[in-house]
Amino acid sequence: MLIETTRYELPPEGITLLGYIVRRMHKTDWLLKASAALTDGNPSTALEYAAVYAATSSTSFGRAYYQPKFDRIGDTVSHADPVTGALVTARLESDSPHYIISYEAAMPNGDVFKGSEEITGTTVGLRGLGMPAPSKFTFTSGSYSAEFTGIITSELALSLFGNTRIRAHGFLTIKDNRGNTGRLELNRGGDISIKINDQPASDHSIARITWLKAHLPTAQPI
C-alpha cells in the first residue's frame, strides 16, 4: 500500500501554497545520503540520491485534504526540515500567465539544492486533472555539482466518493560535473527508476521513502 505524504504536507490547521511546497521538500535526508556518497568517492551514487530528492521534493502522494491558500507575488516561506535541520525556502515569483515558484534547501553542512517550477496550466483526462510543471534543479556539494531538468506532472485523481487523491508522474534528465549522465522516470504508483551511464537501472519507491515521514510529529510553520 502506498504510504501518503499529504497529511504532513497539508496539516489540519491549513496552509498556503508556499507552505505546502516547503513541507513537500522536507525529505532532505536524501541530500545527506548524496553527500555521504561523495565522501565515499561515489559521484554516480550521489547523482542518484540527489535525483531521488529532486523527484520526491516535487511530488505528493496521498489524499487531497484541501486546496492550499494562494500566496502573493514575492511572498516567501521558510521552515527547517525537522529531520535534518535543512532550511527550506520557497518564493512565488509570478502568478501570470503561469505560476513560477523558486525554492532552495540549504543543508547544515553547506550543501545547497535549488530549483524552480512553472505550473503551465491544467489538463483534463481520463486519469484526472493534470498540472504539468517544467522544472529545473541543481545540487552543489563542495566542488561537485549536478543538474536535473524535466517535467513533473502533479495529478488529482477524482473520486465519486469525495476521496480525491494526489499523485505524480514524469521524468528528469540528470547529469553532473564528473561526467555522469542519466534519466529518472516516475510513475503514478510512486515507483522511481534511475538509469545512469551504462549501469543497471536503480529502483526506488515513494512508499519506502516516505515511511518515516508518515510518522513525523507535526511541525508548525513560521
pLDDT tens series, the chain, 222 aa = 455 789 899 999 999 999 999 999 999 999 999 999 999 999 999 999 999 999 999 999 999 999 999 999 999 999 999 999 999 999 999 999 999 999 999 999 999 999 999 988 777 776 778 888 999 999 999 999 999 999 999 998 877 666 889 999 999 999 999 999 999 999 999 999 999 999 999 999 875 554 444 444 444 443
Report the CATH number that the domain containing residue 109 is assigned in CATH: 2.40.160
Domain count, the chain: 1
Q: Would you say residue 10 lies in a domain? A: yes
Q: Would you say residue 1 lies in a domain? A: no
- What pLDDT, on the 0 to 100 scale, is given for residue 149? 98
β-pairing, 191-196 with 202-205?
antiparallel
- What pLDDT, on the 0 to 100 scale, is given for residue 160? 64
Q: Would you say residue 222 lies in a domain? A: no
Q: Would you say residue 138 lies in a domain? A: yes
How many C-beta atoms surround the C-beta of residue 51 within 10 A? 29
- What pLDDT, on the 0 to 100 scale, is given for residue 216? 44
Q: Would you say residue 220 lies in a domain? A: no
User: Is this prediction's pTM over 0.85?
Assistant: yes
- What pLDDT, on the 0 to 100 scale, is given for residue 162? 66
- What pLDDT, on the 0 to 100 scale, is given for residue 129? 80
- What pLDDT, on the 0 to 100 scale, is given for residue 210? 47
Q: Would you say residue 102 lies in a domain? A: yes
- Which domain does 95 fall in, by range? 6-215
The burial class, CB within 10 Å (0-12 / 13-18 / 19+), for 143 is exposed
CA angle 89, 91, 96 (to 5 degrees): 160
Is the Cβ–Cβ distance between 68 and 15 less than 8 Å? yes
Question: Using CA atoms, how far apart are residues 147 and 141, in angstroms rounded to an integer?
Answer: 12
How many residues are listed for the chain in this entry? 222
Q: Would you say residue 221 lies in a domain? A: no
